[in-house]
Structure 1
Amino acid sequence: MSENNPTPKACGYQMPAEWAEHEATWLSWPKNPLTFPEEIIDSVEKTYSLMVEALSRGEIVKILVDDAALEERARALLKTTQANMDNVQFFQIRSSDVWIRDYGPTFILNAQGEKAAIKWDFNAWGAKYDDLLYDNITGENVVNTTGVRVFRPGIVLEGGSIDVNGHGVVLTTEQCLLNPNRNPHLTKADLEEYLCNYLGVEKVVWLKSGIDGDDTDGHVDDFARFVNAHTILCSYADDDSVDAQVLQTNFKILKAQEVFEVVALPMPTPIPLEEEERNLPASYANFYIGNKAVLVPSFDDPADAQAAAIIGKYFPDREMVSIPATDLVYGYGGFHCITQQEPKRRV
């Protein structure tokens, strides 16, 4: 961080909140059989089709596909929906998997409305999956399509580990950012400096850890999300579930800030995979805010309607689109994990 290599903040950039107007949403079409086996891939593709249908009513949807054959398949599936195909763009950029929130660029704007991008390093969540390390290259290839100025901080960070309010605050977790499998040479103070200088924020709120079943080491987008500059929806449980104590701790940390309204968001009933001795990382907090629609996960659970109503209260001018997400979270992620917003240039 020197005068010869200025940071986004020094150049007047900051990361807008997700509800700020988008130019586009980025996706990567599913195809990895290790993530989505044969018995569920059709269901996951249907989920993607419903997402694109909802999002394309209000913005461009940019979709990565490995090759012409996958593009043809995706295009054919989307034509069976009411998606606005004029707003759907395909990019033949190879990827290992779908988690573009984590390996794709973070887009930022300056006061003049000019767009730039941050390309963080991606190491497959602490080198957990060697076969997914290629997606660091995928992220570079996405950046190269944009033609915008690119900042490269040279540290490992995934987009799902941060959430901003667009007014100077970012949420993150100690479990993820301080994990030695990410940036062992950096201290907590070092990481705060990076977050402030690259996201254009003034304050970092450190939460503790994430939900059960999440293999990302506690991404914040699975349990705590800004819905406006002063309100945070935080997943909460007061039962005997494995997540209850963790969520209560995070809730108390947020309440202690005293500057935010902190609203409890229910958790779905745990969804166990007995053959793998794990729970799916199912959470209503992994919603995605589009220009005209908010994509809300549903799990055929009694809490589905309550969660959608809580989220919808903060977006009265956007349609709440509940989409089945159980097969998607089989792959360890949700709607927010498979999307990345690209803000609209202001003029």
Structure 2
Amino acid sequence: MPAEWEPHLGTWFSWPHNRDTWPTGLESAERALALGIQLLAEGERVYVNVLSDDHARHVRNLTGSHDNLEFVTLPTNDAWCRDHGATWVYDASGHRLAISWNYNAWGGKYPPFDLDRKVAARMAAHVGDPVEHAGITFEGGAIETNGAGVILTTASCLLNPNRNPGLYAARAEALLERVLGARHIVWLGGELEGDDTDGHIDNLARFTNETTIVYPMAANDLPHRDGFLENRDILSRCLPSHFLLREAPHPDPVHHAGVRLPASYMNFYIGNGHVLMPAYGGEKDEIMQELLAELFPDREIAPIPCVEIIRGLGAVHCLSQQIPR
């Protein structure tokens, strides 16, 4: 499985439309996503799943037209393309292959998901790639790789009975070795307050190059702080000594209707020319932007307003899925 920073053919999105996911703030979330798409289209093709031709016209009014922007009539139940979309890998011959994960909306939490379950295979068909059905229920947001065989994931997702009842770690590792080419798997724990995915890795730790991982600091006022401390220890213990661990800030708490939302700076997306950084307002945004600029000196760091997007319980990484060249 290639790393996210490796050259893309393009990036795929499923346009937000579900009013159950965004009872308020949908229009603001759409405008923020449109900004990110405009930036990505400067350096790669961007595919956007829409419900219909009328829906495509609505989205185009927000994104504008661009030679690199393609609307695909591929209806979805929701917007989280990282999870319901295909995960692209290379097969043993070096050819691109799309993986379908038997998506079930994070353990059946948000029915219906019948349309989302079909998305991965249809995305693959659109770009002419074969698809392999992995035989397990999983999501792209639960996988993080350095492109050289190291995979970070969480037992709370892959081994959860709400996804794969009876699956145990050794069997899961064998599956990830076969499907993703994993050679070393690191299991992390912990989860953000308000996270409905059972602990996706793309809120907990991210590779920024083959040997560097950025992870959130365990601030004293952070809910589930012990889990973040334990993750730091696991990374230190389970990875080779030449790997670098870089600590990142947590955004200030974001609440809606009295509930803390799972805001995390780890949910950035690495495009060909830009890194889309979730921004929540305040000086911590600036600190995170400076850190990402140091870690990605060859890319422009683009803060994307996510206060409204996160009301849907995800951010820019959750909304996106890359296709390697």
Hey, what does 2:248 align to over in structure 1? Answer: 265
Gaps of 5+ in 2: none
Aligned residue for 1:331?
312
The code of the aligned residue for 1:40 comes to: G
Distance in 1 (CA, whole Å) between partners of 2:291 and 2:224 is 20
- 5 Å-filtered alignment, 1:1-347, equals 15-37=1-23, 39-79=24-64, 85-110=66-91, 113-259=94-240, 260-273=243-256, 275=257, 277-344=258-325
TM-score (norm 2): 0.96
- Which deviates more from structure 2 when the two are superposed, residues 147-156 or residues 238-247? 238-247
Aligned partners of 1:179 and 1:163: how far apart in 2?
A: 18
1:270-307 deviation line (CA, Å, top 9, x unaligned): 1223x3x5311100000000000000011012210111
**Please, which runs of 5 or more residues in structure 1 have no aligned partner?**
1-14
2:197 partner letter: T
- CA distance in 2 between counterparts of 1:108 and 1:35 reads 30
**Structure 2 CA distance, aligned partners of 1:265 and 1:244?**
14
Give the whole-Å Cα distance in 1 for the aligned partners of 2:11 and 2:222: 34
- Distance (Å, rounded) in 1 between the aligned partners of 2:114 and 2:141: 17
- SS of the aligned residue for 2:317 comes to coil
Between 1:191-200 and 1:241-250, the stretch displaced more is 241-250
- Residue identity matched to 1:71: A
1:120 Cα deviation after fit? 1.1
Encode CA deviations 1:300-338: one digit per residue, 9 max, x unaligned. 122101111112212111000011101101001011100
Structure 1 stretch 138-147 or stretch 158-167: which is displaced more?
Answer: 138-147
* % same residue: 40
What is the CA-CA distance between 1:117 and the residue it aligns to?
0.9
Deviates more, 1:326-335 or 1:135-144: 135-144
Give the drift of 1:180. 0.9
Q: Using the TM superposition, give the Cα deviation of residue 43 of structure 1 relative to its aligned residue in structure 2, in angstroms.
A: 0.6
**Separation in structure 1 between the aligned mates of residue 239 and residue 184 of structure 2, nearest angstrom:** 14
Question: Which amino acid in the other structure matches residue 335 of structure 1?
Answer: V
Aligned AA for 2:22? Answer: F
SS of the residue aligned with 2:303?
strand
Secondary structure at the aligned position of 1:337 is classed as helix
**Is this contact kept in 1: 2:82–2:141, CA < 8 A?**
yes
- Distance change in 2, residues 1:305/1:243 (3 Å): farther
The alignment yields a C-alpha RMSD, in angstroms, of: 1.4
Supply the distance in 2 between the matched residues of 1:255 and 1:52 (Cα, whole angstroms): 36
Counterpart CA distance in 2 for 1:89 and 1:241 is 41
Aligned residues: 323
Query: TM-score, normalised on structure 1?
Result: 0.90
CA distance in 2, matches of 1:301, 1:184: 42
Q: Deviations over 1:167-198 (max 9, x none)?
A: 11000011111211110121111111111110
> What one-letter code is carried by the residue in structure 2 that aligns with 1:136?
R
